Amino acid sequence: MIDTRTAPVTVGPTTVRATTVATDRPNDAPAIRVDGLTKRFGTDGPIVLEDITLSIEPGEFVCLLGASGCGKSTLLGIIAGLEHPTSGTVTVSSGSAAVMFQESALFPWLTAGRNVELALKLRGVPRAQRRGQALELLDLVNLADAAHKRPHELSGGMRQRVALARSLAQDRKVLLMDEPFAALDAITRDLLHEELERIWRETGRTIVFVTHNVREAARLGQRVLLMSSRPGRIANEWRLADTGPRRIESPEVSRLSIEITEQLRQEIRRNAH
């Protein structure tokens, strides 16, 4: 069952203090809380994000969807602490988040296993334990047999699996993903959707997944947030009942994709004038 609701949009300047907060919070607190967030590039530059308020619960899988240039990657970067808001607050209850980007960005001179071990080393895992934990993480993404291979010996999908294992090695409760499968072919992307959903269910992580692919969002998300452009705001959201894994060709995904696509087209037409 799909619950469609339009998020309130507030127009005008925000007076909330500009800061990014990372604190320990009770277990029932939201995993991520964004309050009145506005982002402007430069003193007199354009407003990229305006008055965004949202709450993401622990263990929730949220897809952030919108046209190119709507600010969804900027919002993800602010949640990650890579950028600062102009005004408003961001709270990550667990203190920090792991980030996975579109490019795998693996070190080419290191094997897959060593790339994952490096993340464990930076986390402070003792050397004696790193190799075993790296193999466990590669096994989680079904790539343990490629631990000895270097990135150039791996396919694009396999490199993204290693990048996912490396992100999981950071042992953060929140995983932020910025179009991680955009450069992959449709079949490989579908296989990685299945892997990601399995890992999400096994680990209970909170995932925020940025995409411009409507079907990908409808396939993966428990909640889909549609962003408007110029400036970026949360224009609409859809909540999906978690009845188990969905297939990208399923009638439920198809119906939701059609509905989201129509609203996305309206947003693009509105901003074309």
Question: For residue range 57-112, what is the model confidence (pLDDT) as tens digits?
Answer: 999 999 999 888 888 999 999 999 999 999 999 999 888 899 998 888 899 999 99
Q: How confident is the model at residue 240 (pLDDT cuts 50, 70, 90)?
A: confident
pLDDT at residue 242, as a whole number: 75
Question: For residue range 178-236, what is the model confidence (pLDDT) as tens digits?
Answer: 999 988 898 999 999 999 999 999 999 999 999 989 999 999 999 999 998 888 999 99
In angstroms, the CA 55 to CA 32 distance is: 6
Q: How confident is the model at residue 251 (pLDDT cuts 50, 70, 90)?
A: confident
Asked if the model's pLDDT at residue 148 lies above 60, the reply is yes
Asked if the model's pLDDT at residue 247 lies above 50, the reply is yes
pLDDT at residue 69, as a whole number: 83
Average pLDDT taken over every residue of the chain: 85
Q: What pTM was computed for the model?
A: 0.85
Sheet of strand 87-92, all strands in order from the earlier edge strand to the far edge: 19-22, 87-92, 32-40, 47-56
pLDDT at residue 19, as a whole number: 38
User: Domains in the chain, please, with CATH?
Assistant: 21-97+174-273 (3.40.50.300), 107-171 (no CATH)
Terminal alpha carbon distance of the chain: 35
Average pLDDT over residues 5-12: 32
Asked if the model's pLDDT at residue 16 lies above 50, the reply is no
Amino acid at 8: P
Amino acid at 126: P
Asked if the model's pLDDT at residue 21 lies above 90, the reply is no
Asked if the model's pLDDT at residue 46 lies above 90, the reply is no
Q: Do the beta carbons of residue 119 and residue 166 sit within 8 Å?
A: yes
DSSP 207: E
Q: Which residues contact 76 (CB under 8 A, 6 or more apart)?
A: 64, 99, 176, 178, 208, 210
